[in-house]
Amino acid sequence: MILRDIELPGALITIIEVEVSEKLDRAVVNVSVIPSKQAKVALKLLTAKAGEFQHALIRKMNVRPVPRISFEIDHGPEKAATIEKLLIESDLGTHEEQ
């Protein structure tokens, strides 16, 4: 649904995790957005479409109640990429010194 209904040219939105409450009344969808500078726009688009996603899930799922959906940005992949970049740069610096 996200791929089909959210248009954000030049950005990739990936679902990282969905946390559902014990009572099944809430679901927090953690998403990663690449490039990260598009994260705020993506979150705004996802939040605006949450009601439509909710309605589609009600039609498709045989579960009651269907959790109320909210979205949050997961910065984990972004942080991992930064750490990886630093490690690569650090390793390159080590090899250059030898």
Reduced 3-state DSSP string for the chain: CHHHHCCCCCCEEEEEEEEECCCCCEEEEEEEEECHHHHHHHHHHHHHHHHHHHHHHHHHCCCCCCCEEEEEECCHHHHHHHHHHHHHHHHHHHHHHC
Total count of domains within the chain: 1
pLDDT in tens, 33-66: 988 899 999 999 999 999 998 888 888 877 677 8
Q: Pick the residue with more confidence: 20 or 5?
A: 20
Report percent pLDDT > 70 for the chain: 92
Average pLDDT, the chain: 84
pLDDT of residue 17: 93
Range of the domain at 37: 2-97
The CATH number of whichever domain residue 19 belongs to comes to 3.30.300.20
